[in-house]
């Protein structure tokens, strides 16, 4: 057993891991929290990288902007992308990084063209290290998946 004092931090360095073995429990008591990675990117240069973890909030005021979603590290990784704006004539595009797809076939996610008055959201989970699977999208007609660059 290891006691961690109030205000202390357990840090897992790059390449390290915190493993809970079969039958083990990671218990978050009342008031405890698990923090998720959140990044905010605005008006991307072409192909700006999105982390494969947590939440990415993207915004564009140019004609078209594209972001590249990193390949999932493992099956079960969840990712949320929120688009909070777009230009009147362009779209915000999220491309999968090399070798990955959103549904096994398609590698581009386009948020709708025009002024986005309400945030558009898509949530995906990795079913493998090369495949994101859509589990939620906020608008049936506000986003589209494409298999080729249009």
User: What is the chain written as a DSSP string?
Assistant: -----TT------TT------TT------TT------EEEEESPPTTEEE-SSEEEEEE--SS-EEEEEPPPSSTT-EEEEEE----SS--EEEEEPTT-BSSSS--EEEEPSS--SS-EEEEEEEEETTEEEEEEES-TTTEEEESS--
Strand partners, 69: 50, 96
Of 20-24, 37-41, 58-62, the one with minimum mean pLDDT is 58-62
Q: What is the pTM of this model?
A: 0.69
Residue 127: predicted pLDDT: 92
Residue 37 to residue 50: CA distance in whole angstroms: 11
Percent of the residues in the chain that have a pLDDT greater than 90, as a whole number: 8
Q: Which residue has the higher pLDDT, 22 or 33?
A: 22
The percent of residues in the chain predicted with pLDDT above 70, rounded, is 71
Torsion angle, alpha carbons of 93, 98, 99, 104, to 10: 0
Enumerate residues 6+ apart whose C-beta is below 8 A from 88. Answer: 113, 114, 115
Confidence class for position 31, pLDDT limits 50, 70, 90: low
Across 68-89, average pLDDT: 82
pLDDT at 116 over 60: no
């Amino acid at each position: 057993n290891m006691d961690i004092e109030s205000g202390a931090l357990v840090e897992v360095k790059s390449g390290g891991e915190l493993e809970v073995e079969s039958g083990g429990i990671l218990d978050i008591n009342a008031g405890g929290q698990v923090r998720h990675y959140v990044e905010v990117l605005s008006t991307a240069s072409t192909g700006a990288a999105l982390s494969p973890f947590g939440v990415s909030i993207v915004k564009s005021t140019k004609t078209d902007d594209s972001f590249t979603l990193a390949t999932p590290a493992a099956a079960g990784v969840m990712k949320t992308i929120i688009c909070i704006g777009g230009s009147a004539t362009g779209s915000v595009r999220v491309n999968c990084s090399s070798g990955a797809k959103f549904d096994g076939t398609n590698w581009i996610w386009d948020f709708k063209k025009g002024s986005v008055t309400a945030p558009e959201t898509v949530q995906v989970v990795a079913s493998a290290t090369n495949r994101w699977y859509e589990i939620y999208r906020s608008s049936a007609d506000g986003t589209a998946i494409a298999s080729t660059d249009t």
